[in-house]
Amino acid sequence: MPQPYSDIQALEDAFDAAEQDTRALVAGLSATDGVWRPAEGAWSISECLDHLATANRVYLAAMNAAAARAREQGRSRRRAALPGIIGGWFVRSLEPPVTLKQKTPRSIRPRTAPPLTDAFDAFIASQAQVRTFLRAYADLDLAGTRFVNPFVRGLRFSLATGLHVIAAHERRHLWQAWRVRRDRERGHLAGI
């Protein structure tokens, strides 16, 4: 089997790290811990995971259509799967620590207090879908093939940017979920 491109391997590594981080995040949590919110209007751990699973599915649906067209057109890989200047800026804006809060589009708002096991399973399934996409289309011109962003009307990103957005978005909300877990553990220690 041929060795993957280093840029594709870096993305694989990012998705592997997110999955490992998620497994560590939920380890030892009860169902109650998973749906606990640190404040009114804040998200629980299960809501963070549910949001990621839904966002990944919606984003991939838009990306899959563009990738399938690129495959039909024979648009082979010409350069590394890296975001451009604007795409790179957008990716960086998603990275933790979160300093700029963004309004969540209605189509990817999490369910209210989904069971932790359901949200975890949905996130892991979405990770498998991301990896399947990455492996299926690694030989395409991911940096030169654009798709319509399903959340920002009129904005088009390269498929490469889309993959980096998914990875950064996962890191953002896993960071958020870890903060919720730490708040919950502090409450347990304080007897709250």
Set out the domains of the chain in order of their start, with CATH numbers: 6-186 (1.20.120.450)
Contact predicate 163/134, CB 8 Å? yes
| CA dihedral sign of residues 111, 113, 118, 123 | positive
Phi and psi, residue 158, nearest 5°: -75, 155
Global pTM value:
0.93
The structure tokens 């981080």 sit at 21
**Tens place of pLDDT for every residue, the chain, 192 residues?**
455 689 999 999 999 999 999 999 999 999 999 999 999 999 999 999 999 999 999 999 999 999 999 999 999 999 999 999 999 999 999 999 877 777 888 889 999 999 999 999 999 999 999 999 999 999 999 999 999 999 888 889 999 999 999 999 999 999 999 999 999 998 765 555
Angle at alpha carbon of residue 14, lines to 182 and 166, rounded to 5°: 85
Would you call the peptide bond into 97 cis, given omega within 30 degrees of 0 as the criterion? Answer: yes
CA 174, distance to chain mean position in Å, is 9
Q: How many CA atoms lie within 13 A of 120 on its CB side?
A: 18
Q: How many CA atoms lie within 13 A of 8 on its CB side?
A: 19
Contact predicate 142/34, CB 8 Å? no
